[in-house]
């Protein structure tokens, strides 16, 4: 994991270097970030140099309109909202319970976000939300777990965004107990085996 100098984003890092079952996650394949509307001119230059093939924006339509991404009109941007304004308000619940509800009740949305990474054109994929912690944290944790990154390193990556790593480990334990693991969860939620295999290949091959 390497923090990126993307002024004025505060939570951008390349996940390259993490060990995985199929081999080390390659640098320049997967980046997680907070809201890209914060990018200053120097940040835009840095993003341009990163060779991005897809921006996976997990924010709601309201957030996208209110905090407009500089890539809003760029065909590389794909908006995959994980929460909808019409969903029940879970903001008063603890983080684990919020994440559990997201995974259990809106599994197709979560799988669509992971598939958006898998199906991206060759190049680097950026996954972002508002703070780059919760929605991005869930999608990235599932992606890392899928390719076989050790749990303690998934927790360390999640914790680097300012939350307790035990929360994401507890969530992955829930996925394993309830669905038989991340791969089974994603396959049951709309992803194909070809897409999941392709995701492993694009990140480690």
User: What are the chain's domains?
Assistant: 2-204 (3.90.190.10)
SS3 content of the chain, % helix, strand, coil (to 5): 45, 10, 40
Q: Is the pLDDT score of 22 beyond 90?
A: no
User: Quick one: pLDDT at residue 170?
Assistant: 97
Confidence of residue 44 (pLDDT cuts 50, 70, 90): very high
Give the CA count within 13 Å in the CB-facing half-sphere of 24: 8
Give the span between the Cα atoms of 52 and 139, in whole angstroms: 18
Residue 49 has pLDDT above 90, yes or no: yes
Q: In the chain, pLDDT over 70 holds for what percent of residues?
A: 100
Whether residue 154 has pLDDT greater than 90: yes
pLDDT recorded at residue 1:
82
Region 41-56 average pLDDT: 97
pLDDT band at 198 (very low <50, low <70, confident <90, very high): very high
DSSP designation for 69: -
Q: Is the pLDDT of residue 205 over 90?
A: no
Angle between helices 107-118 and 95-105 (to 10 degrees): 80
Would you place residue 79 in the very low, low, confident or very high pLDDT band (cuts 50, 70, 90)?
A: very high
Which of 143, 126, 130, 128 is closest to 195 using CA atoms? 143
Q: What is the pLDDT of residue 158?
A: 96
pLDDT classification of 62: cutoffs 50, 70, 90 = very high
Bridge-based pairing of strands 30-33 and 13-14 is antiparallel
Supply the pLDDT for residue 13. 97
Residue 64 CB-density burial (10 A; 0-12 exposed, 13-18 middle, 19+ buried)? middle
Residue range 134-144: mean pLDDT, rounded:
98
């Amino acid at each position: 994991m390497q923090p990126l100098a993307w002024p004025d984003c505060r939570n951008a890092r390349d996940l390259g270097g993490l060990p995985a079952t199929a081999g080390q996650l390659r640098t320049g394949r997967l980046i997680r970030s907070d809201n890209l509307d914060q990018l200053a001119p120097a940040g835009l230059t840095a993003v341009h140099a990163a060779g991005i093939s897809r921006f996976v924006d997990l924010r709601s339509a309201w957030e996208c309109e209110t905090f407009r991404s500089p890539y809003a009109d760029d065909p590389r941007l794909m908006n995959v909202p994980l929460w909808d304004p019409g969903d029940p308000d879970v903001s008063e619940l603890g983080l684990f319970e919020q994440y559990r509800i997201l995974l259990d009740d809106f599994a197709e949305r979560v799988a669509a976000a992971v598939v958006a990474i898998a199906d991206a054109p060759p190049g680097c994929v950026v996954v972002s939300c508002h703070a780059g912690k919760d929605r991005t944290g869930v999608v990235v944790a599932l992606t890392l777990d899928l390719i076989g990154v050790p749990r303690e390193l998934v927790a360390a990556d999640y914790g680097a965004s300012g939350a307790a790593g035990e929360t994401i480990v507890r969530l992955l334990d829930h996925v394993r107990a309830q669905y038989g693991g991340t791969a089974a969860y994603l396959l049951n939620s709309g992803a194909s085996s070809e897409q999941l295999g392709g995701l492993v290949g694009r990140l480690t091959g």
